[in-house]
Amino acid sequence: MQTSTIVIAILVLGTIAYRLGRRRSLAVVGGPRGISQLHSLPGYYGLLTAVWCALPALGVLGAWHLLDQRVIVEAVLAHMPGGVQALPADQQGLLLNDIKNVVQGNVAAGDVAPAVVAAAREWQRLDTLSRIAAAVLAICVGLFGGTLVWRRITPQLRARNKVEWIVELNLLLCSMIAILTTIGIVVSVLYEALQFFRMVPVTEFLFGTKWSPQMAIRADQVGSSGAFGAVPLFTGTLLISLIAMVIAVPVGLFSAIYLAEYAHRRVRTVAKPLIEVLAGVPTVVYGFFAALTIGPMLRALGQSLGLTVASESALAAGLVMGIMIIPFVSSLADDMITAVPQSLRDGAYALGATRSETIRQVVLPAALPGIAGGVLLAVSRAIGETMIVVMAAGLSANLTANPLQAVTTVTVQVVTLLVGDQEFNSPKTLAAFALGLVLFVATLLLNIVALQIVRRYREQYE
């Protein structure tokens, strides 16, 4: 039985409960004429019944499906011939994968060991059983809840208040999801990162200068000791972000100044959205642009000047990232500049200042805190940007400040470590979470500081 069918069944049940509840509320006061004796409108009695019928049922169904796969796995493993339970976790995982493949029909049953086929049968049996049990349980709970409320319907029942209480509770729960997400991020990233730090000391990770996360498969392999010093990644990230800011801040700031202070309104209505188009372009497009257009272009340019430019140079990635961030800087700076009260400008003009003098000596100093906050937000954007650097920056962890060489960044390493097969017990996979933790903390701090600055500034002129 499909889960969607059960959900639809529960919703149908809820609709029926609504009608029954409504009808009963009218019945207890002797038909539509007695409606004034009811505390709430009849619809609210219906809603209360429906909510008590459908919500618990859906809750039970959801909880069941969150947990049933793990129980099934345990049961299937327990059923398999002896020795399986004693296998190490990764081999058990492989075996489970085989079984899953048979269950999903990706592999013909004839190609695998009979024990696996038997386990797959067992899995299917348990899965069907679990679905039926979930359906029966959910519908029973729904019927029980619905009946409970239905029987309690009296003219005195404050149905509207109860329904509204439930509505408000649900609204609160929905807004709590933001907190849950943060907790989820912190817990999941921190948990794996702590496991990583159990294998690699924090100091080595934060201050080591050698990064080569490939672990040796054989003991005698060359250069595969697995070094996890993340300093080259941090410097690479900062280098690319710096290049990006060098592009984005002047261009963004000056275009904001021009559009806010000088441009004719008609120019502004055309040029501003046109620049903001850059903000709507997916980052993967920038990555493609950097890797296939800007990268080779810089390389050819470097060759004609006698410079050796790496084909995946930091400059190409930084340049394109700068282009991406221009609209971000310009629209924030625009907001800040237009928020400066006109009276300040008028004062400066009255003293005989030219427009540019007014802007440089009055408007910009007044808007500076806000712009600084905006630039900090842009930096956190640049640090966390992934696709451009994955496609255009290299994988080699060079500790260099030369923008013509290839560097790698935190996000690139997170992606390379996690794309493909992961083993959650090897430092290689866990290192990605440690990097993710650093990224999360760094951007969080930047954002908090930036938002504080921006907010304080906005209040100043409001």
Partner 1 sequence: MSDASAVRARTTQQKVAATLRRRYRAERRFRALGVAAVAVGILFVVFLFWTIIARGYTAFAQTYIQLDVSYSAEELDPSGNRAREDLEGANYQALIKAALREEFPEVTERAELRKLYALASSAAELTLRERVLSDPQRIGQHERIWLLAKDQVDMLVKGQVDRSLPEAQRNIDDQTIGWIDRLIAAHQVEKRFNARFFTAGDSREPEQAGVGGAIAGSFLTLVITLLLSFPIGVAAAIYLEEFAPQNRLTDLIEVNINNLAAVPSIVFGLLGLAMFIQFFGLPRSAPLVGGLVLTLMTLPTIIITSRAALKAVPPSIREAALGMGASAVQTVMHHVLPMAIPGMLTGAIIGMARALGESAPLLMIGMVAFIVDIPKGFTSAATVLPVQVYLWASSPERAFVERTSAAIMVLLAFLLIMNAAAVLLRSRFERRW
Binding to partner 1 in span 203-262, by CB under 8 A: 250-255, 257-259, 261-262
Number of other CB atoms surrounding residue 2 within 10 Å: 9
Residue ranges of alpha helices (H) inside 80-158 are 89-103, 114-152
User: Please, which residue, 232 or 327, has the CB nearer to partner 1?
Assistant: 327
- Return the exposure string of 217-233: e unless at least 16 CB atoms fall within 10 Å of the residue's CB, then b: eeeeeeeeebbbbbbbb
Site for partner 1 in 114-153 (CB under 8 A): none
Task: Name 228's bridge partners.
Answer: 211
Q: Which is nearer to partner 1, 129 or 216 (CB)?
A: 129
Torsion, Cα 56 61 62 63, to 10 degrees, reads: 90
Burial code of 383-418, b = ≥16 C-beta within 10 A, e = fewer? Answer: bbbbbbbbbbbbeebbeeeebbbbbbbbbbbbeebb
Residue window 71-110: x/- pattern of binding to partner 1, with contact defined by CB under 8 A: --x-------------------------------------
Burial class (CB in 10 A: 0-12, 13-18, 19+), 14: buried
458 near partner 1, judged by CB under 8 A:
no
Q: Which stretch binds partner 1 (CB under 8 A): 16-24, 45-53, 129-137, 173-181?
A: 173-181
Shortest reach from residue 417's CB to partner 1, in Å = 10
Shorter beta-carbon distance to partner 1: residue 20 or 287: 287
Using CB under 8 A, pick the residue from 336, 390, 393, 453 that binds partner 1.
Answer: 390
The two three-digit tokens of residue 32, written as one number: 């539509």
Q: Site for partner 1 (CB under 8 A): which residue of 5, 91, 156, 182?
A: 182
How far, CA to CA in Å, does 294 sit from each of 12, 60, 96? 58, 54, 46
Give 94 or 419: the residue with its C-beta nearer to partner 1: 419
> For residues 400-419, which are near partner 1 according to CB under 8 A?
411, 414-415, 418-419
Closest distance between partner 1 and the C-beta of residue 292, in Å?
A: 7
| Shortest Cβ 267–partner 1 spacing (Å) | 8
Total binding residues toward partner 1, as defined by CB under 8 A: 94
Q: 310 to 339, contacts with partner 1 by CB under 8 A?
A: 323, 326-327, 330
Sign, CA dihedral 214-219-225-226, equals positive
Single out the residue of 203, 354, 361, 402 in contact with partner 1 (rule: CB under 8 A).
354
Q: Is 438 in the site for partner 1 (CB under 8 A)?
A: no
- 198 is a contact residue toward partner 1 (CB under 8 A): no
| Nearest distance from C-beta of residue 147 to partner 1, angstroms | 26
Q: Does 195 bind partner 1 (CB under 8 A)?
A: no
Q: How far is the CB of 166 from partner 1 (least distance, A)?
A: 10
**Residue 331, beta-bridge partner list:** none
167 binding partner 1? (CB under 8 A): yes
Task: Name which of 427, 430, 428, 396 is nearest 412 in CA terms.
Answer: 396
Q: Enumerate residues 6+ apart whose C-beta is below 8 A from 391.
A: 284, 287, 288, 290, 291
End-to-end Cα separation, the chain, in angstroms: 59
The residue among 25 and 255 lying less far from partner 1, judged by its C-beta, is 255
DSSP-assigned beta bridge partners for residue 227: 212
461 contributes a contact to partner 1 by CB under 8 A: no
Give yes or no for residue 185 binding partner 1 (CB under 8 A). yes
**Rounded to the nearest whole angstrom, what is the least distance from the CB of residue 383 to partner 1 in the complex?**
7
How many Cα atoms sit within 13 Å of 56 on the Cβ side?
Answer: 17
- Segment 37 to 76, residues that bind partner 1, using CB under 8 A: 66, 69-70, 73
Nearer to partner 1, 166 or 399 (CB): 166
Written as six digits, the tokens of 194 are: 């702590």
**Residue count of the chain:** 462
Residue 211 bridge partners (DSSP): 228
Quick check: 391 binds partner 1 (CB under 8 A)? yes
> Is 364 one of the binding residues for partner 1 (CB under 8 A)?
no
Cβ-contact 37, 29 below 8 angstroms: yes
By CB under 8 A, tell whether 184 contacts partner 1: yes
From 89, 108, 174, 305, residue interacting with partner 1 (rule: CB under 8 A): 174
> What does the block give as tokens for 42?
């009849």
Name the one range near partner 1 by CB under 8 A: 24-32, 127-135, 209-217, 438-446.
438-446
